[in-house]
């Protein structure tokens, strides 16, 4: 039996029956492969889409440094979007007070811009999709750990986020209910992480943390130590030039969630109450809007600029709060 959405798509050939917003939404359904099971769900999703559309128009009318548009989140409820935000209790996280080392740096001779994504051979894996699980912290932790090995060890592994999600509860993480990359690295100091191939990610579709199925004989990469980074932009840029770093941001705003290109520069639009973990893989300098960080998200390549977002540089706490909880790991 066809879903209601499929029935609506069948009317595209009769577009004259639809107003412009109806037609845009039908195209949206087709583009992102959406499936609705009833007319009630269709009506709900359409109302959510219209609300986001109004936000997009408002932002684009007022902001000049960034462009905003629809993505696969445009028909999600607030509850569904909240499941993406898994950076929990970071303000009380003791790891950033008791980390084994702390990185600060003077203004060394680093290039004006740098992007680890453009390095050959590759040291950054493709953007992934965490799905309906608050596991952003695990994706940030693996991304930084993978790049550390690639840069300093010559091997780009694809590590298992599921290993962290299901197994690092004793370190203080809560699986799909949130966690912290520092706690994930604490786990990996004594539990070499398995590969994605041997321990595949399932929580994005099940929405469950899952029971720990760790097999130590399949562990391929461990953490040697990890360091926090100073909250000033000089220290952060110097750290990024060394290797990609894990960072935390506020990501619950339409300003962030509808980003498609440009640079996020509006501090009041984004906020600085941390709720999401990502990875800074580079930095740059725009002649009009100044310095910015190149950030890898975990909401699929359909989000943002092929999965990435440029976040402007500002004094601490930074745009979207990005300066507050910066850290990187060493590996063996």
Active-site positions? 136, 276, 297
Instruction: Provide CB contacts within 8 A for 248, sequence distance 6+.
Output: 87, 90, 274, 276, 277, 278, 321, 322, 324, 325
What size, in residues, is the chain? 332
Instruction: Provide CB contacts within 8 A for 293, sequence distance 6+.
Output: 236, 240, 247, 280, 282, 283, 310, 311, 312, 313, 322
Tell me the C-alpha distance between 301 and 303, whole Å. 5
Q: Is the peptide bond before 121 cis (omega within 30 degrees of 0)?
A: yes
Name the E strands within 214-307: 223-229, 245-249, 259-264, 276-286, 290-296
Tell me the C-alpha distance between 165 and 254, whole Å. 27
> With helix as H, strand as E and coil as C, how does 150-171 read?
HHHHCCCCCECHHHHHHHCHHH
DSSP H helices in the chain: 4-9, 20-32, 39-62, 78-82, 95-98, 136-153, 161-167, 181-188, 203-206, 233-242, 254-257, 267-270
Beta bridge pairs of residue 292: 284, 312
Beta bridge pairs of residue 285: 291
Using DSSP, state whether 62 is helix, strand or coil: helix
């Amino acid at each position: 039996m066809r879903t209601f959405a499929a029935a609506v798509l069948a009317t595209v050939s009769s577009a004259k029956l639809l107003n412009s917003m109806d037609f845009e939404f039908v195209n949206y359904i087709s583009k992102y492969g959406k499936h609705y099971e009833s007319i009630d769900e269709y009506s709900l999703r359409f109302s959510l889409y219209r609300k986001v559309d109004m936000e997009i128009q408002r932002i684009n009318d007022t902001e000049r440094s960034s462009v905003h548009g629809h993505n696969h989140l445009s028909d999600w409820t607030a509850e569904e979007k909240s499941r993406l935000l898994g950076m929990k209790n970071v303000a009380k996280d003791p790891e950033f007070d008791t980390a084994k080392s702390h990185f600060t740096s003077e203004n060394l001779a680093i290039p004006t811009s740098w992007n680890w994504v453009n390095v050959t051979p590759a040291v950054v894996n493709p953007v992934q999709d965490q799905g309906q699980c608050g596991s952003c912290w695990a994706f940030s932790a693996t991304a930084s750990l993978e790049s550390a090995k690639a840069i300093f060890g010559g091997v780009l592994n694809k590590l298992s986020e599921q290993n962290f999600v299901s197994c690092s509860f004793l370190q203080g993480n809560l699986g799909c209910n949130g966690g912290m990359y520092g706690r994930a690295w604490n786990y990996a100091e004594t539990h070499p992480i398995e590969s994605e191939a041997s321990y595949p990610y399932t929580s994005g579709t099940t929405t469950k943390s899952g029971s720990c199925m760790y097999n130590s004989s399949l562990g391929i990469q461990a953490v040697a130590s990890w360091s926090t980074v100073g909250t000033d932009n000089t220290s952060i840029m110097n750290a990024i030039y060394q290797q990609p770093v894990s960072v935390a941001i506020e990501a619950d705003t339409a300003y962030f969630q509808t980003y498609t290109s440009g640079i996020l520069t509006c501090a009041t639009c984004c906020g600085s109450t941390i709720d999401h973990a990502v990875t800074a893989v580079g930095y740059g300098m725009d002649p009009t809007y100044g310095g910015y960080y190149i950030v890898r998200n975990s909401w699929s390549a359909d989000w943002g600029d092929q999965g990435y977002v440029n976040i402007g540089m500002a004094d601490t706490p930074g745009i979207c709060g990005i300066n507050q909880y910066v850290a990187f790991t060493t590996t063996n």
